[in-house]
Amino acid sequence: MLKACIFDLDGVLVDTAKYHFVAWQRLANQLGIAFTETDNEQLKGLSRDASISYILKKGNIVLSEYDKQHYMAMKNEWYLALVNTMDESEALPNAKELLINLKDNNIAIALGSASKNARLILEQTALLPFFDSIVDGTRTTKSKPDPEVFLTAANDLSVHPKEAIVFEDAISGIQAANVGGFLSLGIGEPTVLTEAVWVYPNLTSLNFEQLINLYNSKF
């Protein structure tokens, strides 16, 4: 039976991609590298280290590890300044309502995100109280599509992967969920999230009853 739901953060519960874009573009500009919204899409689901590696490769630039850490810290400062302006209104439509609905039906809830700022973002958007477990970039060493983040969350919740649905907006996250043995629910475009078990454009039409029906249809 369905016992848990594990959510990615950016693009699923909140939209901080716009803030990441501003901060990464500012960093890329300092390095003389063009950085577009298309590039920003490629960073979905990636860790901070993997993201800067993508940008450096695009610009054919090699930095020492010390300089990489310096630039990542600088980007994070710019990003956090933007995140600190967030409030409850920036939770995506039906995100809070769905979390309340799941809680009311005794479904355990976890976060599975590469973000190292996940807890702050959940606090800013008033979503933090709904989570039984938060697995973010401070607790994992492997980036998606490695399933570490979701397996850690399942372990926290004491559930088997087959007892959980993972909500993701990035193909790397869908792949991580599938490899880990979870049922994957994509949030976004079916043409992009081709490996997801189900795909919805957003959370607005989802509730506990529908998730139960989706889950039961697979068993």
Cβ-proximal residues to 132 (8 Å cutoff; 6+ apart), any chain: 108, 109, 110, 156, 157
Q: Is 39 a catalytic residue?
A: no
Q: Is 104 a catalytic residue?
A: no
In Å, how far are 81, 96, 187 from 84, measured between CA atoms? 5, 19, 25
Torsion 137-23-131-200 (CA) sign: negative
DSSP 107-153: -EEEEE-S-TTHHHHHHHTT-GGG-SEEE-TTT-SS-TTSTHHHHHH
Select which of 8, 136, 156, 169 is catalytic: 8
Beta strands per DSSP E along the chain: 4-7, 108-112, 133-135, 164-168, 183-187, 198-200
Residues carrying an active site annotation: 8, 10
